[in-house]
A and B are shown apart, each in its own frame.
Chain A
Amino acid sequence: MTDTLFPAATGTMGQPERRYEAREKVTGSAAYASDVKLARTAHAYLVTSSIGRGRLQSFDLTAARALPGVIDILTHETIGDEIRQTPSIYGGGYMADTLRPLGSAEIAHWGQPVAMVVAETYEAAREAANLVVVSYAAEVAPVAGMGSSVATGQALDPMGFAVGDFDTAYRTANVTVDANYTTPAQHQNPMELFATQCVWEAGRLTVHEPSQYVNNVKFGLAAQLGLDPSRIRVISTYVGGAFGAKGFLTHRTALVAVAARRIGRPVKLVPTRAQGFTVSGYRAETRHHVQLAATQDGRLTALRHEGWEVTSRADTVAMGAVSMTARLYACPNITARVNVVAADRSTPGFMRAPGEMPYAFAMETALDELAHKLQMDPVALRRVNDTQTEPVGGLPYTSRSLMLCFDTAAAAFGWQGRPSEPATMRDGDWQVGWGCATAFYPTHAGNSAARVRLSADGRVHVESAGHELGQGMYTMMAQVAAEELGVPIAQVTVALGDTDLPPAVVAGGSSSTASVAPAIMAACDAIRRRLGIATGVPADVMPAMEASGLGTIEEFTEVRAHGTAPDSLRGLYRGMALPAGGVHLPDRVQFALGAQFVEVRVHRRTREIRVPRVIGAFAAGRIINPRTAHGQLVGGMIWGIGSALHEHSEIDTRNASYINANLADYLVPVNADVADVQAIMVEEEDRLVNRAGVKGVGEIGVVGVAAAISNAIFHATGIRVRDLPIRIEHLM
């Protein structure tokens, strides 16, 4: 890859600086959580439930205990009351779900941890785990998922809303679309597994764990273990992919901490790839009912989006992205509703564009169905319904460059001249189709703090407990400080991912840069003020620093994000800094927007599906680093290909288990599936969203790709597929 891939630093684009930690990662010296070497480490291995619903009757630990090297076995019977029941994040707490780790004999889902073996080696722990004999009582068959139980779904009234009179508008419309869509369960499968290492020293606990929110782990663990939070430190120097799976505290951390305390030695747990499917949250399966009505010239007159999502019995979790799909286009009559279907499954969680991916698939496919009915170009349909005022609350967008994205991507794609009739383009044995869809992601930010130290020798050190998930956090932090202080980036060092540092927002909701950059800017402002330098304009601080005679200036600042509660800064210091913004502001709505264009080929006879081209154009405010942003957008678009054609956590309904919980059978795109993927960053200036002008690009890349592919498949074949993933059997 050459630098010519990245936009030059002009307008809203910053410099495509190379990755701060590139050398460490490329040479393998970057120590991820499981790489950290602790003396006398013991190794843990989980035993997980093989039934989907029922009770533990008994354990036979004889053979496991007899295995040489086995030190300890934790079960709900042996662990005692060391771990307290604490609420989930949905109940104001820290946990990813409300179950107490090894809390009782109840089995709530397949894959639930029921025991943890600790041994001298990983191999001994694994072998002993295989020797643990678990007896279950499973009288009632589990409810595995949506099944036919949609009718019994429970409506979540606070997530529903309506404006105008949908029923009348729909009934009297010229042209209507009425369709149902489904998306499957999916798992993030970050390359790095869910490792945890815990070590106690003089009553203090240090946790090494890949995390999107180190302070969530710290304060959640303190609550679970009844410890003063000041006695816990959580370190997450590098994270090998997270995608939402490492956002909030899971059962394993407290188990490892307790085991380490019991045996007086460090304990390391690396759950297997298969166990990872239930160790953390996932994207639950969804169903959608969309109804659209329009005038003959394509103006939307009625829009209805109702979603159903699978949740666990323990927690009511819904992503409910109707709040976004209803705010994309001008429309006077809207109704939206979200329902959950409780199943005997682990609690769902967040996965890259958690609600946006499935809800966009439904809405943006429905838009394409409408365009086809109207015999209208899909881009023209979006243009007719473009608006600078969102239709639900009548609020302004802080900025909206949707049609600029469509026009930019369409030009790059060569969309002009596309035949409107499906199944008319052909290349030998391949049917060719073109499709497009809107990409969107709400712009969030959360409270964050930062500390910046300027030394007389020109070195700058930046600290904030943000998170490097591979997205470029180190680089961004260095870049912002270098720019604000006018020093070369090579002189800047960065520390992050450690609860001993100034606290920052959870790395979720595409909010890290939008949250942490303003905190760094504010700290740099404070340094400049100390030196008598005006803020808000480029300046080299070093002449003033030399003149001051000072050795070091260090400033700590905290910044409250727009839309957060006035007292929410206190929460920053309790692991409660969550993103705000998007569609939840009283005065405005904030979106990054984009347009996805796709070419597909479908073989005439075997119905194999290929995606030779994906071109997306995205307007996401200021791009601080076009290199790392490009990586995130292209990565997201490739995820989009996977979401359309490959990813599917397959469930055996008899015990509500995942039967393809490995990377050979849980398919994601391989290089051969990814041909030409282009991400174009459209210039956009937004001075309102946050001081940095950043909207975030972590998630928007995946949004809309599945719809664009399904629309392109329709264009190629005339077959409309409304269920993901789209496979050969859909097109036979």
Chain B
Amino acid sequence: MQPFTYSKAATSDDVIAALTGEGVQLIAGGTTLFDLMKLGIEQPRRIVDVSGIGGLDEVTLGPNELVFGALASMTDVASSPALQENYPVLAESLLKAASQQLRNMATVGGNLLQRTRCNYFRNGAMYACNKRNPGSGCAALGGVDRGHALLGGSEACIAVYPGDWAVALTALNASVDTQSPRGLRSIPLADLYRLPGQTPDRDTELAADEMILRIRVPAASYGRASTYHKIRDRESYAFALVSAAVMLDLDGDRVRAAHIALGGVATRPWRAPQAEALLTGQTLTPARALDAGRAAFEGATAGHHNAFKIELGARAVADALMIAQQRSTGQ
């Protein structure tokens, strides 16, 4: 195997110093990096273990914002009763992801950087893949594309962003605090993930020497009116065929503001502003919820095997909206 060095960082400053080298990868829970190394996708020369950095696993659910340290485990965040009670969309997006064993190891910061599950990306050099091997082409186009993107794809890549947590965070206008040699900055999640365009090898706007420290979510008094609705081929331990992260600011039956994001169908966590706009100021009914769901998929481009997700996705959004409404009135 390709040899690599392993070191453990004590502070984020250590990490940033290390990141200036070539071929450095950070490791926290290790649930995705080792997998990608075994597949030959990631070939780091140096692995820096960030899991021992103090203070980065803290979670604060404050009156103005929620702050999740990047090193908090998925399990710890998901099992917070306060989060389950006040922001079910966030807790559910974690609980419906992966398996208990993976959630115990994986961190909420690392989770954001999970790479696509596109089989052509993962299955090695025998397939053309612009994300893995820039310029080689895209085998998913014209291939088995049931799991591929209907939204945000390009002629270079239709790989789906596979995660759940980032979809929920996107719906809630979250951002990440990062550190690099250039200092600290904040990146809205909506800007963190790139569309593939002609350069699908770059998943995010994160620089090679930049590390996520924490995730910030603006607090919402109406966070209870939310859900993460995930439709999959089996009950657990499966990636989303389609998912809808929804949070509603309601005034009685009337929608003041709707937050809607889609997972499993787009090349990045996908906000659906046209669906949100359609609901703003309107009374929420099942019919209007379905209209919003359909609006969320306007412009969707189906491949050979995934066209059903346009209708399924619309229905998932509609159901998610009705669940969120029910939770709002159920208090």
Contact = CB atoms under 8 A, between A and B. Distances in A.
Interface of A: 50, 123-124, 126-127, 130, 274, 605-608, 610, 645-646, 650-652, 654-655, 657, 659-661, 664-665, 667, 669-673, 727-729, 732
Interface of B: 1-2, 40, 117, 119-120, 123-126, 139, 142-144, 146, 231, 233-238, 241, 308, 311-312, 315-316, 318-319
B312 A126 contact: no
Given A660-B119, A665-B117, A606 B231 contact: yes
A728 B146 CA distance: 12
A650 B119 CA distance: 11
A659 B119 contact: yes
Contact of A606 (B1, B125, B143, B312): B312
Contacts of A274: 123
Nearest to B315: A605
Contacts of A669: 234
17 contacts: A50-B125, A123-B1, A127-B1, A274-B123, A605-B315, A607-B312, A646-B233, A646-B234, A652-B143, A657-B123, A659-B119, A664-B117, A664-B237, A669-B234, A670-B234, A672-B234, A673-B234
Contact of A728 (B1, B40, B124, B231): B231
Contacts of A607: 312
A607 B123 CA distance: 30
B238 A608 contact: no
Given A659-B144, A670-B237, A673-B234, A606 B308 contact: no
A462 to B, nearest CB: 39
Contact of A729 (B235, B238, B308, B315): B308
Contact of B311 (A130, A651, A732): A732
Nearest to B311: A732
Nearest to B314: A605
B308 A732 contact: yes
Contact of B1 (A126, A650, A667): A126
Contacts of A130: 40
Nearest to B122: A662
Given A659-B144, A670-B235, A673-B234, A665 B312 contact: no
A652 B234 contact: no
A659 B318 contact: no
B312 A728 contact: yes
A650 B40 CA distance: 22
B312 A670 contact: no
Contacts of A646: 233-234
B241 to A, nearest CB: 7
B143 A732 contact: no
Contact of B308 (A608, A672, A728): A728
A660 B311 CA distance: 25
Nearest to A274: B123
A274 B70 CA distance: 33
B126 A50 contact: yes
B86 to A, nearest CB: 26
Contacts of B318: 605
A730 to B, nearest CB: 9
Contacts of B238: 667
B311 A659 contact: no
Contacts of B123: 274, 657, 659, 661
B1 A124 contact: yes
A606 B117 contact: no
A605 B322 CA distance: 12
Contact of A655 (B119, B125, B126, B308): B126
| Interface hub of A664, A667, A669 (most chain B Cβ within 10 A) | A664
B234 A667 contact: yes
Given A659-B120, A728-B308, A732-B308, 15 more contacts: A605-B319, A606-B312, A606-B315, A606-B316, A650-B144, A654-B139, A654-B142, A654-B143, A657-B123, A661-B123, A664-B237, A667-B238, A670-B236, A673-B235, A728-B233
